[in-house]
Amino acid sequence: MKIHEYQAKELLRAAGLAVPQGRYCSTSAEVKAAYDELETELCVVKAQIHAGGRGKAGGVKLVRSAAEAEEAADSMFGVKLITHQTGPEGQEVRRVWVEEGSAIASEYYIGIVVDRETQEPVMMASSEGGMEIETVAAETPELILKAGYSPDAGLNEAEARRLAAGIGVPEALLDQAVVFLVGLAKLFCEKDCSLAEINPLATTEGGGVIALDAKINFDSNALFRHEELSPLRDLDEEDAKEIEASRFDLNYIALDGSIGCMVNGAGLAMASMDVIQLHGGSPANFLDVGGGATKENVTAAFRILLSDEKVKAVLVN
């Protein structure tokens, strides 16, 4: 499950980690009020969609007056923002987050995922903050430092210090960075996250260490342990067909092609998609109806496949 940046920042704040003050707004009148309440000249208006890369697409704007804040928000509301993470159809901006601007000294990348080989969470840190981590990984992998840790013991301070110093956090700010990294590592496990990405974590001219962006995804299989997280789900951001599929326990992911796939088993579903692709077609979806699928599940799956206007044929494998 994905959540918005402002929700991720609220979780960070609740865990005692440094994030900018901000307000969540769905009208330009709210944006104006938010700017006035924040009482800092520099503020940032940020489109709230479940995708990164907003900065380059016009979804993050620095403003220096209430009028500029309103203007920035008006340029976002109702717009389908297209970033490298949204797909070509883009994602509609319904709400924005207005937060205090920081005087940035440097930007760093911090991310945590589960390493399936070591079967532990691994923190990745890089001096190349603000950049897409996939690009850094492909072009300059030596600039990504890693530290695995056990969920029980957490990330130890020495490892956190090695990462922070290794990516170039200045000596005077190392203690603050260590607190942030250790706290983030703990939050990742406590909330059963599948991804926690702070890009950028910034050092500021005033001598602070603060998360300017935050992306947190949760392991859907663990959501039953976290009632507190279910209100954070935003169905507006999810594909209607995927929502319907989740009601029937179908593993369904919508794609852009024209051949619907109805398959038992995730491995066979992947192989079927590969074969379609190999022969010049393109799959409209990934679908694993599961081994013990009932008549009701299969009926629901067909209904979902056929509701997709792009589907010209269905391959049942």
| Binding residues vs ligand ADP (CB under 6 A) | 20, 44, 46, 52-55, 60, 99, 101-102, 104, 107, 130, 199-200, 212-213
| Candidate list 6, 109, 149, 252, residue with the active-site label | 109
Residue 76 site contact among Mg ion, ligand ADP, none (CB < 5 to 8 Å, cut-off depends on kind): none
Q: Is 197 in the site for Mg ion (CB under 5 A)?
A: no
Which residue, 32 or 46, is less far from ligand ADP as judged by CB?
Answer: 46
- Of 108, 73, 83, 97, nearest to 9 (Cα)? 97
Q: Is 199 in the site for Mg ion (CB under 5 A)?
A: yes
Whether 84 and 132 have beta carbons less than 8 Å apart is answered as yes
Tokens of 133: 């981590």
* Phi-psi group of 184: left, alpha or beta (phi > 0 → left; psi -120 to 50 → alpha; rest → beta): alpha
3-state SS class at 175: helix
Residue labelled with tokens 């990330």: 155
Residue 212 site contact among Mg ion, ligand ADP, none (CB < 5 to 8 Å, cut-off depends on kind): ligand ADP
Indicate if 109 belongs to the active site: yes
Min. distance of Cβ 88 from ligand ADP in angstroms? 18
Which residue, 130 or 281, is less far from ligand ADP as judged by CB?
Answer: 130
- Of residues 202-231, which lie at the interface with Mg ion (CB under 5 A)? 213
List of residues 6+ apart from 194 with CB closer than 8 A: 113, 114, 217, 218, 219
Give the span between the Cα atoms of 302 and 281, in whole angstroms. Answer: 20
| Candidate list 5, 99, 159, 197, residue with the active-site label | 197
Which residue, 45 or 300, is less far from Mg ion as judged by CB?
Answer: 45
Which residue, 52 or 183, is less far from ligand ADP as judged by CB?
Answer: 52
Which residue, 5 or 308, is less far from ligand ADP as judged by CB?
Answer: 5
Give the span between the Cα atoms of 260 and 273, in whole angstroms. Answer: 10
- Of residues 103-162, which lie at the interface with Mg ion (CB under 5 A)? none
Residue 104 site contact among ligand ADP, Mg ion, none (CB < 5 to 8 Å, cut-off depends on kind): ligand ADP
Phi/psi for 23 (5° steps) reads -135, 145
Residue 95 site contact among ligand ADP, Mg ion, none (CB < 5 to 8 Å, cut-off depends on kind): none
Whether 249 and 297 have beta carbons less than 8 Å apart is answered as yes
List of residues 6+ apart from 58 with CB closer than 8 A: 75, 76, 81
Min. distance of Cβ 56 from ligand ADP in angstroms? 6
Q: Which residues have a catalytic role annotated?
A: 109, 197
* Residues of this chain that bind Mg ion (CB under 5 A): 199, 213
